[in-house]
Amino acid sequence: MVFNTGAALLDAIVLAVVSRTVEGTYGYRITQQVRSVMEISESTLYPVLRRLQKDECLEVYDQECAGRNRRYYKITERGRVQLNLYEGEWKTYSEKIDLLFKKGVGDE
């Protein structure tokens, strides 16, 4: 992707991915789902997960899987509020950009 991805957009994407399942999901799966829409490395993603946890948007728990602990991330109520804010902001932003590409600035 040629466009830079800021921290807020990464937060929004991660919250959207995690919010899809009630029980939460684990880091590798989050990485794969985010990679389906943009290039991102695990070294970029895990600080985002930690920041969202610190901001109380995600809660974390470990669960055993095939003899190993797997860390799961689950959206919190605060995370849902933040995701709703991001979704509203994204809708407004993307509509303005789409309008610009389709009509141009100041065109009637």
**What's residue 106's pLDDT?**
59
For residue 99, what are its two tokens?
Answer: 């309008």
Domains in the chain, CATH or no CATH each: 7-103 (1.10.10.10)
For residue 16, what are its two tokens?
Answer: 């959207």
What does the pLDDT look like over 77-96, one tens digit per residue? 999 999 999 999 999 999 99
CA atoms within 13 A on the CB side of 13: 19
CA angle, 84 then 90 then 92, to 5°: 110
C-alpha to C-alpha distance for 65 and 34, rounded to whole angstroms:
22
For residue 105, pLDDT over 70 is answered with no
Within the chain, how many helices (H) and strands (E) appear? Answer: 4, 3
What does the pLDDT look like over 3-30, one tens digit per residue? 777 889 999 999 999 999 999 999 999 9
Q: Where does the chain have alpha helices with state H?
A: 7-19, 27-35, 42-54, 77-103
